[in-house]
Amino acid sequence: MENYLNYPCEETWEQRIFSVSSYQNVETQPVAKQRCQANARERDRTQNSVNIAFNTLRLLIPTEPADRKLSKIEILRLAGSYITHLDNQLYTGEMEQPCLQKSDVIERDKSLCTFCWSAVKKDKSPACHSNSYCKTPR
C-alpha cells in the first residue's frame, strides 16, 4: 500500500488524504484521520515526554565538560553507572568507580564510567584522576 501518511498532517490531513488515490474512498477517511492523529500523538509523546525525560536525566549526570553531548544510550548507561557509584558511596562509604567493579554486567560498559568516560573518548588520561573518586592506576 502506498505510504499515504508519510506527511505531516497536523493542519490539512483532509487535503493530504484526497491527494492520495487509495484514500479517496470516503469510507477510508476516518481511518486515515485516526492514523494521522495517532502519529501526531506519538510525535508529541516522543518530543514532549521521552526527550524531556532524557534531557532531565542528562542534567543529573556529571561529565567533563559538563555540557558534553551524550547520545540516549550513553545517557542510560552513564546514569546506571552513576547510580551504582552513588549507591556504593552511600552504603559503604567507598569511593570506588562502578567501572572498576568486576561484575559482568558492568564490565561490558567499563568505558562508560561517568568520571572517566570523556577521557576514554579523547584517549587521554582520565579526568577523574583529578578527583577523589578515581582509583584507576595512573
Residue 127 in contact with residue 116, Cβ under 8 Å? yes
Site string for DNA, 62-91 (x = CB under 7 A): ---------xxxx-----------------
Q: Select from 19, 38, 87, 131 the one that contacts DNA (CB under 7 A).
A: 38
Report the nearest approach of DNA to the CB of residue 97 (Å): 21
d(CA 73, CA 120): 17
Residue 35 in contact with residue 6, Cβ under 8 Å? no
d(CA 115, CA 118): 8
Q: Is 100 in the site for DNA (CB under 7 A)?
A: no
d(CA 24, CA 82): 54
Q: Is 46 in the site for DNA (CB under 7 A)?
A: yes
Interface ranges with DNA (CB under 7 A): 1, 3-9, 34-35, 37-43, 45-47, 49, 51, 71-74
